[in-house]
């Protein structure tokens, strides 16, 4: 029995119990489409309970016998971690000031720096920064539009037009 694997399974079970307990506290009035606001917490909580039970069972029955040996470095790549963290934190700090699309573009650009750094392919030329920013904005713009126009969910924008 691998105690670490069993601990991960037990932790997953505990998280599932907490989410299901929280879901019982949410009103169940059916909304649009016949589901209420507690539907998704119930789904996530039950999925975590099922995954946690499977993980505990797997750990108690001999562990992950067919698991491949881990690949990659022995330790984490700290510069890459810092790039990605900077992207996430800058988005959290700036999203209400510069809008969803620009903040997500910035997050994408910094995350790409982190992933390329971890692969040893970090290119510091201004053109790559600009290309990554534009790609991130091109991914975020349709998401912003769909949330705002199709789902009527307001995301922070740079202007009041509802388009960026």
| pLDDT tens readout for residues 122-132 | 888 999 999 99
Helix (H, G, I), strand (E, B) or coil at 152: coil
Is 95 among the domain residues? yes
Task: For residue range 1-16, list pLDDT tens digits in order.
Answer: 678 889 999 999 999 9
Is 28 among the domain residues? yes
d(CA 144, CA 5): 40
Q: Which two tokens stand for residue 105?
A: 């573009």
Give yes or no for residue 110 having a pLDDT over 60: yes
Indicate if 51 and 99 belong to the same structural domain: no
Is 119 among the domain residues? yes
Indicate if 94 and 141 belong to the same structural domain: yes
Is 111 among the domain residues? yes
d(CA 105, CA 109): 6
Is 163 among the domain residues? no
d(CA 103, CA 117): 21
Q: Which two tokens stand for residue 3?
A: 């105690």
The count of domains in the chain is: 2
d(CA 138, CA 117): 23
Short-list 95, 105, 113, CA closest to 157: 95
Mean pLDDT estimate for the chain: 87
Alpha helix positions (H), the chain: 3-23, 39-60, 78-98, 100-118, 126-145
DSSP secondary structure letter of residue 119: T
The most confident of 31-40, 57-66, 138-147, by mean pLDDT? 138-147
Residue 48 pLDDT class (50, 70, 90 cuts): very high
Domain that holds residue 48: 3-60
Is 71 among the domain residues? no
Is 99 among the domain residues? yes
Indicate if 85 and 55 belong to the same structural domain: no
d(CA 139, CA 163): 14
Is 160 among the domain residues? no
Short-list 139, 136, 145, 138, CA closest to 164: 145
Indicate if 88 and 145 belong to the same structural domain: yes
DSSP secondary structure letter of residue 68: P
What's the pLDDT score for residue 112?
Answer: 96
Residues above pLDDT 90, as percent of the chain = 51
Task: For residue range 55-89, list pLDDT tens digits in order.
Answer: 999 988 877 777 788 777 788 889 999 999 999 99
């Amino acid at each position: 029995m691998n105690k670490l694997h069993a601990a991960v399974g037990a932790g997953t079970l505990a998280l599932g119990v907490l989410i299901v307990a929280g879901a019982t506290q949410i009103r169940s009035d059916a909304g649009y489409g016949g589901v209420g606001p507690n539907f998704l917490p119930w789904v996530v909580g039950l999925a975590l309970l099922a995954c946690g039970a499977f993980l505990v069972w797997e750990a108690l029955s001999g562990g992950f016998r067919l698991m491949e040996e881990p690949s990659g470095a022995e330790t984490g790549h700290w510069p890459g971690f810092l790039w990605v963290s900077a992207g996430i934190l800058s988005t959290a700090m700036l999203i209400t000031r510069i809008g969803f699309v620009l903040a997500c573009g910035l997050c994408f650009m910094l995350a790409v720096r982190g992933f390329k750094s971890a692969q040893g392919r970090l290119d510091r030329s201004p053109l790559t920064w600009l290309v990554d920013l534009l790609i991130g904005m091109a991914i975020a713009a349709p998401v912003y539009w769909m949330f705002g126009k199709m789902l009527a969910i307001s995301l922070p924008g740079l202007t009041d037009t509802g388009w960026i």
